[in-house]
Amino acid sequence: MTTVVAVDQNRVGTPARRYVVADVFASTPLLGNPVAVFLDSEGLSGERMQQIAREMNLSETTFVLPPEKGGYARVRIFTPVNELPFAGHPLLGTAIALADADPVDEMALETREAIIPFAFNRSADGVLSATMVQPVPQWQPYDLLDTLLLGVDVREPTLPVEVYRNGPRHVFVGVEDIAALGRIQPDLRVLATLPDVAVNCFAGSGYHWRSRMFSPAYGVAEDAATGSAAGPLAVHLARHGLIEFGRQIEIMQGVEMGRPSRMLATAFADVDSLGRERIKRVEVAGSAVVVARGSLYV
């Protein structure tokens, strides 16, 4: 029997890029949505970051850099196929990974879209949760409605179908109930023709909702937790009278994938003298747990 010993030539003189993997919007390992967080990202080009994101093959990978605008750190966010100006679950996972090593009560992370504030809560058993203030989204009717509904096989959406932008673009399709939501089998070939958008189907009532997100345009067939969509969903529901502004809702996602994720979202609004509501603040909260640590030699 011959023993083969592998010699790692790549490690000689190559920086070790430390990273952690955090399961986000969960307090138990192997649930929620994982994100890889690279803690030593100085000197990496955007092209190299994109290659690393493809290597990690998670829905998002983040890269922590020194701040430029007075924040705690600057963060770049990549899917396997492109860079995002803002995203929810990877930023929350990054913030908790950083707070896991530095017991701060709050921090601000710089993104291409905005500076995102975080406040932390630490439980007695060490689980960290965080609340982020998201960019207030802009919205409009979605103009590729027929193609969208064909792709998710929904005939009669329960609310107007609108697209929201808070960095990424999210379009929301209401379905009749949670059972119907679970039966959706998206045609990813059709959805891939929709440019620069993530498709979010949702169902529920009161302050308890379920969601599924499909985004072949962003390299993600289905996502276990989409924090950047949670805030806009709260806005969407409040704008159309299904919930009250200022009341927190629970959004469960990833159930059909075996990765249940729990997101909490709140949309706040002011009312002007004509009775019109203006969105003033959007918050999304959740837990995350660090499940792996390692080094990548690049």
Domain ranges of the chain: 16-132+287-297, 138-285
Q: How far apart are CA 288 and CA 37, in angstroms?
A: 13
Active-site amino acid positions: 60
Mean pLDDT of 1-19: 64
pLDDT of residue 7: 44
Write the pLDDT tens digit of every residue in 72-103. 999 999 999 999 999 999 999 999 999 998 98
pLDDT of residue 110: 98
Write the pLDDT tens digit of every residue in 209-220. 999 999 998 888
Indicate the pTM of the whole model: 0.92
Write the pLDDT tens digit of every residue in 157-169. 999 999 999 999 9
Q: How many Cβ atoms from other residues are within 10 Å of residue 271's Cβ? A: 10
The CATH number that domain 16-132+287-297 falls under is 3.10.310.10
Alpha carbon 238 to its chain centroid, in Å, reads 21
227 touches 263 (CB < 8 A): yes
CATH 3.10.310.10 fits 138-285, yes or no: yes
Q: Do the first three CATH levels of 16-132+287-297 and 138-285 match, i.e. the same topology? A: yes
Strands 198-205 and 169-174: parallel
Write the pLDDT tens digit of every residue in 248-265. 999 999 999 999 999 999
Write the pLDDT tens digit of every residue in 132-155. 999 999 999 999 999 999 999 999
13 Cβ contact partners less than 8 Å away, ≥ 6 residues apart? none
Mean pLDDT of 117-131: 87
Q: Which residue from 109, 106, 110 is spatially nearest to 122, judged by alpha carbons?
A: 106
